[in-house]
C-alpha cells in the first residue's frame, strides 16, 4: 500500500506534468491541483523531489516549481522507489535492494517467494512502463469523456 507521502508526491508531479511546459507552479497551485495536498507537507515532498532532481524551482514573482525532466521519461515506479524505497514485497525479489531472506534455505523452491514472484513481476512491469505523461493523458481523456472510475476501484479494500 502506498504511503500518503508517495500519493502526494505522485499527485504533485502529475500537477506539474499537466502544466504548460516550462511554466512553474507555485506551491498553492500544486496543492489545489493535487486534490488539496496539505501545503506544509507538500513543501517537504517538493524538497525531496528536488534533491532527487525530479523538480526544479525558480525564485521570484513568476517563480515556483516545474518538472526537471520530460514527463514521458519519468515512470511511476521510479517515483514510488524514491518516496518508499524498494517496491518488492520480499527482499529476495527486489531488483534494487536484493537480499536473501534470513529464514530461507532454498530460494529457488521457496513457496513464499514463488507465491509472490509472478504477481510482483506483473505489478513492476506496469509501474515501470507507466509514465507521468501517460497518466496525465489518461486523466485528461477520462475528464473529456466524463468518465468515472470503474466500480472495482471505488471503495475496494485491496
Q: Residue ranges of the chain with pLDDT lower than 70? A: 145-158
**What pLDDT score was predicted for residue 52?**
95
Q: What local confidence, expressed as pLDDT, does residue 33 receive? A: 85
Cα separation, 34 vs 94, in Å, equals: 30
b (16+ CB within 10 A) / e for 118-142: eebeeebeebbeebbeebbeeeeee
pLDDT at 112: 87
pLDDT at 60: 85
Yes or no: say if 5 and 12 are a contact pair by the CB < 8 Å rule: no
For residues 86 and 6, the answer to whether their CB atoms sit within 8 Å is no
Amino acid 149: pLDDT: 55
Q: What is the pLDDT of residue 40?
A: 87
Distance CA 77, CA 139 (A): 18
In the chain the domains, ranked by start, together with CATH numbers, are 4-69 (1.10.10.10), 75-130 (no CATH)
Q: Which of 3, 7, 2, 27 is nearest to 16 (CA)?
A: 27
Residue tagged 477520462 (cell numbers): 142
pLDDT score for 154: 46
Distances (CA, A) of 146 to 14, 74, 155: 19, 27, 20
What's the pLDDT score for residue 150? 54
* Burial label, 102 (beta-carbon count in 10 A; 0-12, 13-18, 19+): exposed
Please report the pLDDT score of residue 155 as a whole number: 47
Amino acid at each position: 500500500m502506498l504511503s500518503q507521502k508517495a500519493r502526494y508526491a505522485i499527485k504533485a508531479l502529475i500537477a506539474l506534468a499537466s502544466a504548460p511546459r516550462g511554466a512553474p507552479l507555485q506551491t498553492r497551485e500544486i496543492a489545489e491541483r493535487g486534490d488539496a495536498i496539505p501545503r506544509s507537507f507538500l513543501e517537504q515532498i517538493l524538497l525531496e523531489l528536488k534533491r532527487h532532481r525530479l523538480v526544479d524551482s525558480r525564485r521570484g514573482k513568476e517563480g515556483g516549481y516545474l518538472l526537471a525532466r520530460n514527463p514521458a521519461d519519468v515512470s511511476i515506479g521510479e517515483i514510488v522507489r524514491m518516496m518508499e524505497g524498494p517496491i518488492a514485497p520480499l527482499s529476495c525479489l527486489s531488483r534494487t535492494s536484493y537480499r536473501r531472506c534470513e529464514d530461507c534455505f532454498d530460494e529457488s523452491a521457496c513457496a513464499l517467494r514463488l507465491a509472490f514472484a509472478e504477481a510482483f513481476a506483473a505489478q513492476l512491469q506496469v509501474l515501470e512502463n507507466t509514465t507521468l505523461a501517460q497518466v496525465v493523458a489518461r486523466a485528461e481523456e477520462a475528464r473529456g469523456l466524463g468518465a468515472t472510475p470503474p466500480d472495482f476501484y471505488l471503495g475496494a479494500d485491496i
